[in-house]
Amino acid sequence: MVLITGGGGSIGSELCRQIARHEPKQLVIFDIYENNAYELMNDLKNTYGNSVDIQVRIGSVRDQKRLDEIFNEFRPSVVFHAAAHKHVPLMEDSPCEAVKNNVFGTINVAKIAIEYGVKRFVNISSDKAVNPANVMGATKRITEMIVQYFERKCKNSTIFAAVRFGNVLGSSGSVIRGTCL
């Protein structure tokens, strides 16, 4: 069973499409925004019919109680953590929201993954985490450090990993607007 946080977003939805091709027993799309998650669910059901059990649950990675409900209901063996605020200019204007969602959300999902015996946890990071020049990049670098911490801490249980994605075609807000001199 595979669970993808932020499953309705630009990166999460593509992960869902790629994973669905391998026909997992169950694929859970977890997202805070119901419209994208619903459209993705319908698209995947049209493509794969009943060969993949596709479930959608709405909630936030900030909400520990909701995460517990989801993990208790589905008992995932693999988690792809793609939920994050990724819009660079907006996160410059709302840095506390970036920290709450990206940093504390990652901690919440990592802790619950350990609690429920998830075998593999993959954090989806960003190329902007390399020498971060903006709030979003800094928060994604912190998520990588969180994953490294849990990987050291959980030597014989959950395997933690992080992968960095570059600019994603079709996504929005990947750069800070500049001015001409």
| Residues that are catalytic | 128
Query: CA-to-CA distance for 113 and 139, rounded, in angstroms?
Result: 20
Beta strands in 32-153 (DSSP E): 53-58, 78-81, 120-126
- Residue 123 near residue 145 (C-beta atoms within 8 A): no
Closest CA to 110 of 152, 55, 168, 57: 152
Q: Which amino acid is at 32?
A: I
